[in-house]
Structure 1
Amino acid sequence: MMKAEALAYFASFPTFAGEAFGLDALKDLLHRLHDPQDELKCIHVAGTNGKGSTCEFLHQILTAAGIKTGCFTSPALDSVMDQIRIGAHHIDDHSFAELTAHLQTVIETMPVKPSQFETLTALAFEYFKQEHCELVILETGLGGTDDATNVIKRSVLDIMTPIDHDHMGLLGNTLTEIAGHKAGIIKPGDKVLTVDQKPEAMTVIQKTCDQQQAKLRAARSPIRKQADINGQTFVLAGQEYSIGLAGLYQINNAALAVQAAQWLGISDAAIRQGLAQTQWPARFEIIAHDPVTILDGGHNVQGAAVLKESLDRYFPDQKIVFVTGMLADKEYEKMLKIVSPLADRFYTVTPENPRALSAEALADWLNNNHQSAQACANVKTALHLARAQGRPVCVFGSLYAVPAIRRCMQSENPSKID
């Protein structure tokens, strides 16, 4: 099997919904692979926002400390191969193709087939085992209790990022219900590090830790010292740290990763080196200049709020041209109302996802709510029109629109994206 065939295989079945609800199919697959996850030491990360960034900060810190660290995050921004990394490298073409061929052979013998995400999770476990990773960072794909990553029996550390309303159709309509799913990753005797959560979520986490006899630690909040479009400096427990990410919310993710690393006994030198070398695409990422063009994967109400905060900070008294595409099952009305006071105009696109809200429907909603919006047939047209206005441009609304945005910018001028 070649890389292209392996990618085609993963594209051939549903992302999350396999032939049966629950983790039984994945557990069956892993058992047939001799349970590679049981041989890994894992750090498990759940929450609503900030999971990917926190994972990457910690991944870079552990790598800087000389620890061979695997990292499994979601969703993919380009290829599913992007989700599986060790240190600075994604899974290589040969390993991906070889492992996919093996999994395909095994899955063909199974009475109930796993989903795409479950199969990818199994592949990641097998790859990290084969590569003898000393630690593995796992980001939950959806929720926690029934997430594919939750087949592990024990964690070295559980990390809870901010919990808010998202995926309500699957996780529940209240923070208590949603937090119950997220806290489902907490196992008996685990160490748990959490940000300062909203009261409903914090109550659930504390109760779960008590039930599981897990050790809970609340992370301290950082104090921002300096911020500009090139990066930020913050103070945590009297120590000053620097990061190269501009999104104002990133100091919270960095501070959480710092405290996780400290609990794991990582040196201050490795922490500083890891923070400094962390890059994370599509999170308030500057992808072009003249005019400044920002790519942000914010796709829920909390994400829109922190995006607005960063835009207010870096572009005071300036109107922003937005390129946006949304999924129909998101709270897109609330998200758009948050950023609308900053908007000069909107150009709407349809993300590459079956759950996408059409560009026309999105533009109609904006125009009916006193905004100037134009539906575009594709991302290339939307970016061309937006950048022609001569104002700062912000692309946001769905991570599923990111691949098309990056392809368009790179084809227009490869030097615009590092």
Structure 2
Amino acid sequence: MPEPHAAARRSPRSLAELEATLAERTDYELQEPPAGGWTLDRMRSLLAALGHPERAFRAIHVAGTAGKGSVACALASTLDAAGLRVGWTTSPHLVSFAERVRLGARPANEALWVEAAAPVLAAAATLAEPPTYFEIVTAIAFELFRRARVDAAVVEAGLGGRLDATNTLPAPALCVLTRIARDHTALLGEDLASIAREKAGIVKAGVPVVAAPGSPEAEAVVRAACRDRGAPLSLLGHDASLELLPPSPSAAWPPPLRTRVATPWGEHLLEAPLAQGAADNLALVALAAHRLEEPLGRSLAPYLPQACRRLRWRGRHDLVPGQPPVFVDGAHEPASLAALVDTCRRRAGPPPTLLFALARDKDLAAAIRLLEPLRGTLQACPALGARGRTPVEIAARFAAAGWEASPAPSVAAGLEAARRSALRRGSYVLVTGSLRLAGAALSLLGEDAAPAWD
């Protein structure tokens, strides 16, 4: 038997100890993944050693480039509103590590985390190759869901799809594909078709799929994947349509998203505290709810309005009151940034002071171009470890485009400088470019992200 790995020998007695143990693992959220990728062999071996916890619950598997978290949250809220015991995963976490695995609206409690982690770390110690941070967390989630006897689990893919640790789910009740865009190009491919093939790697034989790929090129790949695997496909724009409704005249800023979704099973008027660009996500949730009624044996569609309206999905379209107010939105790809700018332009008064960070595999030139209507003052932050662009590079590029931009030595220093600037100008702070930056800012502001809905 292989020598146990040092990090896996320990049996953490608290979430803090577990987080410290996991910090010793390879974490591709903070460092560049290997250009050649990896296989699922290590993850499959870990789950086999645990007695296959991933087979103990009905799963809904969510992948894509943008909107995965919002879709997972709204779907979990819908299942919960219908009376199902639901577990769900999301990444990265914003304020607390515990957010990564939830039961209902709240993170699983510390005792459940510790109990589920013990056998996972023990099993990991027997493997010839140490599992990564995300593989361990995914295995803990599956084990925790088994112990909690959930009726269903909504599982968000981490990176890509085909080779993501979550793609060890054997036969989900449903697969969901959100908008697909350029993302992690060193690993997934430079062109949209290659990236779409990786994301569509979650499609399983005979398992229904609902999708909103967002472009003809990505849609063609998704159609082909479903056809090749005999997976029934429901496509937004073909099998369902949406109408974006104007904000209510009495709505406070930022206004909630209002949309009318027409599906083959009926029409839904949905409202959620999400950005206007997230309308596709609500339409996907409506399609998914109808598709899940048969495999889960429960009527779900009647609960959609309540489930969407009550969301409290932090770090997205998230206003923190104060002097000055701080608007937190982790938008980091072009379509999301464009929707964010549209929301900010609806607010009267001077433009915001930006607190900004961006990963190296994201398009900085496109971000600068899209944020041009908000041009003013910017603090560039280090929030993404080795995967992030340096504050010096970001500030220099924005300054060349006419911004008053400065590099900050830390998120705390950048946030303080941005707040002073916004107060002087009678404006607000906009935190964007990265979900990790969004989480760091919320933490510094004394906010939590625990309940995902009220």
TM-score calculated relative to the size of structure 1: 0.93
Partner of 1:346, secondary structure, is strand
Contact in 1 for aligned 2:277/2:336 (Cα 8 Å) = no
Matched, 1:410 2:442: no
Return the alpha-carbon distance in structure 1 between the equivalents of residues 257 and 188 of structure 2.
Answer: 34
Match of 1:224 in 2: 244
**Identity rate, percent:** 29
Matches within 5 A, 1:71-220: 71-195=88-212, 197-219=214-236, 220=240
Return the alpha-carbon distance in structure 1 between the equivalents of residues 315 and 306 of structure 2.
Answer: 22
1:250 to 278, 285, 298: 278
Matched, 1:372 2:404: yes
Which runs of no fewer than 5 residues in structure 1 stay unpaired?
Answer: 412-417
Match of 1:15 in 2: 27
Tell me the matched-pair count: 411
Match of 2:7 in 1: none
Match of 2:6 in 1: none
Match of 1:2 in 2: 13
Return the alpha-carbon distance in structure 1 between the equivalents of residues 214 and 360 of structure 2.
Answer: 27
- Return closer, same or farther for 1:68/1:293 CA change in 2, 3 Å cut-off: same
Return the alpha-carbon distance in structure 2 between the equivalents of residues 11 and 196 of structure 1.
Answer: 34
2:335 to 302, 310, 316: 302
- Return closer, same or farther for 1:316/1:240 CA change in 2, 3 Å cut-off: farther
CA RMSD of aligned residues (A): 2.1
User: What whole-Å deviation, never above 9, does each CA across 1:22-57 have from its counterpart, x for those lacking one?
Assistant: 111111110000111122211111111011101111
CA deviation after TM superposition for structure 1 residue 352, in Å = 4.4
Contact in 2 for aligned 1:143/1:182 (Cα 8 Å) = yes
CA deviation after TM superposition for structure 1 residue 239, in Å = 4.1
Contact in 1 for aligned 2:399/2:405 (Cα 8 Å) = yes
User: Which moves more between the two structures, 289-298 or 121-130?
Assistant: 289-298
Return the alpha-carbon distance in structure 1 between the equivalents of residues 274 and 38 of structure 2.
Answer: 40
Runs ≥4 residues deviating over 4 A? none
Contact in 2 for aligned 1:243/1:278 (Cα 8 Å) = no
Return the alpha-carbon distance in structure 1 between the equivalents of residues 348 and 224 of structure 2.
Answer: 43
Match of 1:415 in 2: none
2:84 partner letter:
I
- Return closer, same or farther for 1:233/1:302 CA change in 2, 3 Å cut-off: closer
2:242 partner letter:
P
Match of 1:235 in 2: 260
2:246 partner letter:
Q
Contact in 2 for aligned 1:233/1:240 (Cα 8 Å) = no
Match of 2:451 in 1: none
2:86 partner letter:
T
Which runs of no fewer than 5 residues in structure 2 stay unpaired?
Answer: 1-11, 294-298, 448-453
Partner of 2:195, secondary structure, is helix
CA deviation after TM superposition for structure 1 residue 370, in Å = 2.0
Matched, 1:282 2:307: no
Contact in 1 for aligned 2:145/2:153 (Cα 8 Å) = yes
Return the alpha-carbon distance in structure 1 between the equivalents of residues 131 and 412 of structure 2.
Answer: 36
- Return closer, same or farther for 1:35/1:232 CA change in 2, 3 Å cut-off: same
1:363 to 389, 395, 403: 395
CA deviation after TM superposition for structure 1 residue 140, in Å = 0.7
- Return closer, same or farther for 1:352/1:207 CA change in 2, 3 Å cut-off: closer
User: What whole-Å deviation, never above 9, does each CA across 1:365-399 have from its counterpart, x for those lacking one?
Assistant: 21122221012222233223323232132110111
- Return closer, same or farther for 1:5/1:327 CA change in 2, 3 Å cut-off: same
Matched, 1:400 2:412: no
- Return closer, same or farther for 1:347/1:24 CA change in 2, 3 Å cut-off: same
Return the alpha-carbon distance in structure 2 between the equivalents of residues 242 and 58 of structure 1.
Answer: 13
Matches within 5 A, 1:39-78: 39-78=56-95
Return the alpha-carbon distance in structure 2 between the equivalents of residues 33 and 124 of structure 1.
Answer: 12
Contact in 1 for aligned 2:74/2:308 (Cα 8 Å) = yes
CA deviation after TM superposition for structure 1 residue 175, in Å = 0.9
CA deviation after TM superposition for structure 1 residue 277, in Å = 1.4
